[in-house]
Structure 1
Amino acid sequence: MMRRIIVPLDGSTRAEGALLPAAHLARATGGALFLVRATMLPMEYAWISADTTMILADAMEAEQKEAQDYLNHVLTFPCLEGLGVSTSVVQGDPATVILEYAQQEEGDLIVLCRHGKGEAKRWLLGSVAQKVARHSQVPVLIFHEEDALPMLSTNWGMSVLVPLDGSELAEEALQPAIELSQAFSPADTATLHLLCVLPLFVQYGVTDKEEPPLMHEAQRYLKELEERLLRECPPTLHLHLTSSLRCDIEVAQAILDASAKGHLADQNIPGCECIAMATHGRKGLARWAMGSITERVLSETKRPLFIVRPTSIRKMHSGFHRFHEGDSKNGKTQEEWQQPFVGLF
């Protein structure tokens, strides 16, 4: 359940675009918001030598005060009325402090708007969003600066597109996607479209004769997955499911087309308001690396992108950090710890 929601802000109105959907999520889940503002040394003071520490300290204190004053102003926004909201100003590299803050506050979700930028001395949320999405251990919901988010009313529902490659890792985006759709939809409803893209690359050895059996396997997979989701769905939830299969050498483009146009092969499906993806799924039936696909979709989509880190990947990541903290009791080398991360997003 997404109840502890982290919202990074950089002082720009574009970054503030994440506040409305984050507030809606908090109300839908009975959760709270945690607003964080990262501060760095103002550019105009970068030339100051170590001998002028007092001037530097004054500059940093002024920056901290300005950031806190800004967050206090944000607290007056109408969309936050009645919600539990905490604010923090943290000094350091924006992406790093956002990730550390999310861990410290035991966040369930990070919501941000990419490409937000203020004055020249401010940090750019475009690159920060990409770094946060790549390394976050909790789900990240990213809105584009050009998102025209519909009015959040009881008459509006969010249809979520979930790309799958046949792996259990990719499927870990399903349950969070259902929760997200439910939070943005009329009471007790959720709408998902399951998309399986088969990348028929020559190097994979797929020939024209082998294509139909592979497609048959993918179609069977989608059908069985739909049946399982409906079977496991709580009786109080009305889950609307559709699915489609596409063969395309450009997996990311197929996902982008499906979300924007809703036209797949000889099927016509409604476009989806959001894309939900796991960051890694490389042993599935289609054998495409979900991580690199996620990165391309993030860079090109104009729709909200919901990125989920699979549990097994989070555990490997934790093991990697334990190595750096001196936990070498298993006798593993640094290279052995790093090996599982080859090819990750």
Structure 2
Amino acid sequence: MGGSELKYIKEAFDTNWISQFGNNIDHFENILEEYLGENSFVAALSSGTAAIHLALRLLNVEEGDFVICQSFTFVASVNPVLYLKAVPILVDSEPSTFNLCPNALEDAVKFCLQKGKKPKAIIAVSLYGMPFMVDEILEISRKYDIPLIEDSAEALGSKYNNQACGTFGDLSIISFNGNKIITTSGGGILISKSQITKNRTIYLATQAKENEDFYSHSELGYNYRISNISAGIGRGQMEVLEERIRARRENHVFYKELFESFDDLHLFSEPSAKFYSNYWLNVILIDGEYWDKKKMRSIFYENSIETRYLWKPMHLQVLYKDCIFFGSNISGAFFDRGLCLPSGSNITENCKERITRALYDYRN
């Protein structure tokens, strides 16, 4: 926490607005709209998953529709497709960003068209805070006139060509879950290009209530609005966002220097100057026979250093094993070779020394 969150939570209690209405929500949305830039209209919701679900609803995704999804991601990026009984078409990664492969994406689009069903949407993820190949993905989206849902759940503060992630999609989402670079305890936003779309998002997120005086409903809505208390946490967190990004990027510099002398350990890094990652998570890929992912993880664990495996791609999950998949299993190879390293904004110099010692003890 940054320190000022309690001030805004107290404001919610003092004004007796603690649920889904109140000044904190309005201020939080305004701060984010200013941060993201012109033509960004923000609706604050209960989660990033809710935001993806509503994005699909706004695009009129229905039962049986095709939705192209990035396979290498957390399951919440794809589950909302199933909520609507639509059909996920899974697409592999390309190696430089870990994100949606443009060639495999176009193959998937052509397959859908051959089946006589143009996809209703493409969901592209900026995994671990790294922007996807925006120019190439947008070109395909526009070429085939398929709306792009930008899943920047992990990428607040990241940029592509100096433009903020969360502003490239026809609809975009960001998450404020407890593990993200800043948090509202649980929450997310849906970003659109117009006030009209923002208003409809809020309408759907508040049970599609049509009348201020009594409960009138003509279509399905959801209980997806953020609370005034959570939005208050978000207001305080936005005050320290730049500090958090700086800390995460400093972690990456530490890891870059640490792994320079290891030819068979590769740190996941920005592929070019176009990409600016918040480095929400730092990831290594392990090559060669000397290093073993499970052994390395156990060495870190014995030194009270937490590591985690990468997201298991959707096409390798039991839930999605029957889905059509386009690609050559690049993301599966990443899952086999990769580890997520400690990446919190509060890692101390002592923590870094322990990580360094554990790594060199393992090599020696």
Q: TM-score, normalised to structure 2's length? A: 0.27
Q: TM-score, normalised to structure 1's length? A: 0.28
Q: Which structure is higher in strand share?
A: 1
